[in-house]
């Protein structure tokens, strides 16, 4: 069985990450799942933003956790990807809502409505970012929101990811049925994590660590864990994943990955 293709922050190679435009584009090309990072605003909303600060993606000063949603909604989260767009007379007019801050609620609604309309199941891989000033409140709000959609159980089209083992433990206590993905950035992390993570937890190493440590993937799968690998953008990296029997590849280029797999 070929791996699931997961759009990393949407179709983020072509379109500004974490914008509604990037996710709509990912759905349009057939991505089977969408990946997002979530942070909590000062007034308690979960928003899809990777960085702690706004410097890179909104080109302004500020920290996401200290700002209210209304303030974030005034910012353009897409212009950094194409700073010359205002000078392009032939560029199509943009729908502003595609470029503004994206709440997790809106992304969940988008996936729900798309699946209902097309009959195609699309999954979500949601990463909680740590450390954060709000600690476990992030996971609490996340599970509460998923429960509103009826997506906090075993059959939900959602899995929760984190580099923080403690964060995933919280999710497991709050919603025992949800699938969990322990992300790994360094090979040395596996020695400790292999002794403590749950037997059904998925493991999510980066493609670079699998490249640099060829035996790591086999060690993880021999321990009984499925692999979901990030961020897979090149044919040779996809080959590594296929050789390991990876269950999901998380890519900035979902259309390209689907094309390679369909060959």
Output the domain CATH number for residue 140: 3.20.20.190
Asked if residue 92 belongs to a domain, the reply is: no
Cα separation of 248 and 237, whole Å?
13
Residue 97's φ and ψ, nearest 5 degrees, are -65, -20
Cα separation of 66 and 69, whole Å?
10
Cα separation of 69 and 128, whole Å?
18
Cα separation of 245 and 228, whole Å?
10
- 50 carries an active-site annotation: yes
What's the confidence (pLDDT) of residue 85?
55
Mean pLDDT, range 23-48, rounded to an integer: 98
Evaluate if residue 47 carries a pLDDT over 80: yes
- Under the banding of pLDDT at 50, 70 and 90, the label for residue 95 is confident
Cite the beta strand spans of 154-247 per DSSP E: 158-162, 179-184, 202-205, 228-230
Mean pLDDT, range 163-187, rounded to an integer: 98
Asked if residue 91 belongs to a domain, the reply is: no
Asked if residue 86 belongs to a domain, the reply is: no
What's the confidence (pLDDT) of residue 88?
59
- Under the banding of pLDDT at 50, 70 and 90, the label for residue 81 is confident
- 45 carries an active-site annotation: no
Domains identified in the chain, total number = 1
Evaluate if residue 201 carries a pLDDT over 80: yes
- Containing domain of residue 130, as a range? 4-51+102-262
Residue 217 C-alpha from the chain's centroid: 21
- Under the banding of pLDDT at 50, 70 and 90, the label for residue 84 is low
Asked if residue 195 belongs to a domain, the reply is: yes
Asked if residue 60 belongs to a domain, the reply is: no
Asked if residue 81 belongs to a domain, the reply is: no
13, 50, 186, 225: the catalytic one is 50
> Which residues make Cβ contacts (< 8 Å) with residue 173, sequence separation at least 6?
none
Asked if residue 136 belongs to a domain, the reply is: yes
Evaluate if residue 229 carries a pLDDT over 90: yes
Q: 124 and 157 in contact (C-beta within 8 Å)?
A: yes
What's the confidence (pLDDT) of residue 182?
98
Evaluate if residue 23 carries a pLDDT over 60: yes
Asked if residue 62 belongs to a domain, the reply is: no
Rg, the chain, Cα only:
18
8, 13, 45, 228: the catalytic one is 8
């Amino acid at each position: 069985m070929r791996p699931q293709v997961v759009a990393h922050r949407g179709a983020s190679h072509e379109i500004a990450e974490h914008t509604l435009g990037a996710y709509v584009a990912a759905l349009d090309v057939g991505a089977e799942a969408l990946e997002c990072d979530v942070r909590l605003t000062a007034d308690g909303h979960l928003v899809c933003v990777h960085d702690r600060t706004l410097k890179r993606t909104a080109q302004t000063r500020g920290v996401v956790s200290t700002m209210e949603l209304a303030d974030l909604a005034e910012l353009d989260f897409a212009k950094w990807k194409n700073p010359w767009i205002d000078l392009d007379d032939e560029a199509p007019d943009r729908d502003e809502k595609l470029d503004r801050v994206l709440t997790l609620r809106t992304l969940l609604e988008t996936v729900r409505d798309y699946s209902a309309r097309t009959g195609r199941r699309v999954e979500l891989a949601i990463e909680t970012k740590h450390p954060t000033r709000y600690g476990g409140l992030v996971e609490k709000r996340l599970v509460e929101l998923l429960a509103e959609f009826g997506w906090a159980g075993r059959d939900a089209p959602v899995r929760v990811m984190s580099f923080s083992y403690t964060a995933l433990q919280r999710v497991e206590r709050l919603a025992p049925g949800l699938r969990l993905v322990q992300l790994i950035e360094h090979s040395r992390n596996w020695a400790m994590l292999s002794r403590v993570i749950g037997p059904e937890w998925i493991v999510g190493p980066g493609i670079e660590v699998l490249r640099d440590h060829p035996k790591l993937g086999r060690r993880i799968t021999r321990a009984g864990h499925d692999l979901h690998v990030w961020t897979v953008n090149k044919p040779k990296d996809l080959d590594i994943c296929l050789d390991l029997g990876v269950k999901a590849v998380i890519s900035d280029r979902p259309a390209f990955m689907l094309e390679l797999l369909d060959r």
